[in-house]
Chains A and B, each alone.
Chain A
Amino acid sequence: MGIVSPGFFGRRGSGDTKLPPGQYLTHDFPVLSAGPTPRIDLDRWQFDVTTETGQRKQWSWQEFTSLPAEDITKDIHCVTKWSKLGTRWKGVPVETMLADVETASDYVMAHSYGGYTTNVPLEDLLNGQAWIAYQYDGEPIAPEHGGPARLLVPHLYFWKSAKWVRGLELMLADEQGFWETAGYHDYGDPWREQRYQGD
Chain B
Amino acid sequence: MARAAVPRRLIGGRLQWRAATLTERRRETDTAATLVFDIPDWPGHAPGQHVDVKLTAEDGYSTERSYSIANSADGDRVELTVQRVHDGEVSPYLLEGLDVGDAIEIRGPIGGWFVWRDTDTDPVVLIGGGSGVVPLMAMVRARRAAGSRTPFRLIYSVRTPEDVIYADELRRRVRDDMGLDIAYAYTREAPPDWPGEVGRLKLATVATHGWPPDLMPACFVCGPTGFVETVADILVAQGHDPRKVKTERFGPTGP
Contacts and interface: CB of A to CB of B under 8 A. Distances in A.
Contacts of A26: 253
Contact of B56 (A1, A177, A178): A1
A33 B242 contact: no
A8 B253 contact: no
Contacts of B249: 30-33
A4 B57 contact: yes
A61 B242 CA distance: 24
**Size bracket of the A interface:** 35 or more
Interface string A92-124: 000000000000000000000011110000000
Interface stretch (A34-42, A52-60, A149-157): A34-42
Summarize A's interface: helix, strand, loop or mixed. loop
Contacts of B113: 34, 178-179, 182
A86 interface: no
A109 B111 CA distance: 21
Contacts of B174: none
Given A2-B17, A181-B6, A30 B253 contact: yes
Interface stretch (A9-17, A66-74, A132-140, A166-174): A9-17
Nearest to A11: B89
B2 A196 contact: no
B57 A5 contact: yes
Given A3-B56, A35-B242, A178-B6, A199 B93 contact: no
Contact of A5 (B56, B232, B236): B56
A94 to B, nearest CB: 23
Contacts of B89: 10-11, 24
A143 B126 CA distance: 24
Nearest to B244: A35
18 contacts: A1-B56, A2-B17, A3-B103, A8-B55, A9-B57, A10-B57, A10-B63, A12-B61, A22-B64, A30-B251, A32-B254, A34-B114, A80-B66, A82-B253, A114-B1, A182-B9, A182-B112, A198-B15
